[in-house]
Structure 1
Amino acid sequence: MGSSFYDTLEINRNATDADIKKAYRRLALKFHPSSNRDSESPEIFTQLGEAYDVLSDPRKKATYDKFGEEGLKGGIPPEYGSSGAWSSKYIYHGNPDKTFKQFFGGDNPFADFYTNDAPLQLGGLEPGVVKTQDAHIERDLHLSLDDLFHGCTKKIKISRRVMNEDGFTSSIKDKILTIDVKPGWKEGTRIVFHKEGDQGPNSIPADIVFIVREKSHLFFVRQQHDLIYKAHISLEMALTGFSVEVETLDDRLLTIPINDLVHPAYTKVVTGEGMPLSQDPSQRGSLIITFDIQFPERLSAERKLQIKQALAF
């Protein structure tokens, strides 16, 4: 190997960014200690990592081209400090595996190039090697009861690894996924985006699966297609009758008369005022009203007598 970073990667000083990537890919695979048992391969592999780390970064490369390795690592002279070149001292982190993983992507990128201890051809997969899809990725999608009642559109930004145009390297890019929430969707509904996971040279991207998680509501509890509403009433109201006012999720005010005697297990069912059915949003479940009866904390002797007399009839 030569003494300059260009010599290390076996390229000339006019090499393009694509040339630098191709050279590093070829040599890093060749001298990776996992595939090359030569005693010098670890040292060469480290040199390759440092050379690529410098030449793949435009600012580091510009400083190296102008001031050499001494200027890059020792700091450029003060008179050149305003030139816009790399001005701080460069120190390679010394972990060539880190450089290798950042280049190829993944926690074990070298595994992408070997199957059953047989190296793959650099042009792609060996004949007969079948790509397998990565395991699907699950994410919770938290939605309010109002979202699930009316339906809505949610846009979610994901970051994923995509292959670059050179077909060898990858980078992290953002993408917006759009979910059209349908009225009546329930807890546990799954929305699948096929092959939107990380891309790799020898694998099929994973599916991304969003799972609906319903947020709690201040007044309603959902039970399948029904809505449960708890009304707080006094003992007098429970025995003599009253009306319950309920503000619905579509901003209507229902006034519901209660003429029955209300006991602790009593419920009032109002059909057609629950959640829409996902398969037919024009149909809706029921509104079920339960009652929390507030008993008096104490009664005078006179009041107790009056109640006894009233209940005697």
Structure 2
Amino acid sequence: MDYKDYYKVMGVERSATQDEIKRAYRKLARKYHPDVNKEAGSEAKFKELGEAYEVLKDPEKRAAYDQLGSNWRAGQDFQPPPDWGAGFEQRGGMPGNEADFSDFFEALFARSAGGARRAGAGQGGPGAQGMHLRGQDHHAQILIDLEDAYRGATRTLNLRMPEVDAQGHVVTRERTLRVQIPKGVRAGQHIRLAGQGAPGLGEGGAGDLYLEIGFNPHGLYRVEGRDVFIDLPLAPWEAALGAEVNVPTPDGKVALKIPPATGSGRRLRLKGRGIPGATPGDLYVVAQVALPPADTEAARSAYRRLQEDFSSFNPRAALYQGAQS
């Protein structure tokens, strides 16, 4: 997937004000509109402009996009980091499915900000006097450690709410919250903080803040739903003959019996050792046979003896049979 430089598409600097972005879009949209410009490629350019403007006109999307940094160049191979948008509050939902956006846009902004209330609720304006409207809900993504999901935790979070200052630049206002992380929470789940959204109008109550949970990358574990996976290195003799080894889990070490003839990639299940819940997940131990280094003459001699003892063994026999069928 290619990185898209939305500022380059719009022909503006990264420091451009919101008004400058709006003026640039209006000028270029008139130039490349398919009803006006019949040249080849104008329609594609017009759609690209629309996508760039969809991001840069919105202070929240723009602030999240800017967090990717200025070192990326248009056309570079790109994958969004797992924490690219963590900590940003959003007011409302994302564009509907009718919009024809690129894979790059979808990878960054396709997450639904579900639960959004009326657009503009909790914001003043002409005719707002005497109205009583509930404040708009806010949404943010937070990252927690996997161990927090096993035990529960109380965490202090710093969230950022993008705003437009008096000069028209996007700035972020930070606030700190003390949040209870419930035991058994899983990635994608939302924690609702009542009254922590936008203030209401008149006697209307404040909106809520919904925190979408994600997990920080872990050095040992991978997570799929409530299931947890860990790669377990095994010595060749442990894999061949069987053994009992200690396996680290987020809940402590567990003794695991390795069956004889365990090959790399084999999954061994520890039932109920995944993320807790009414139906807890499982922890899968994925065997990985690790070879001792042949870095001494004695080690090389041992491998040569092994080669002689297993001269009839061909690890690629199944490949050749498959190629002939």
Instruction: Report the TM-score, using the length of structure 1 for normalisation.
Output: 0.46
Greater RCO, CA 8 A, separation 6+: 2
* Higher Cα Rg, which structure: 1
Answer 1 or 2: which has greater strand percent.
1
Q: TM-score, normalised by structure 2?
A: 0.44
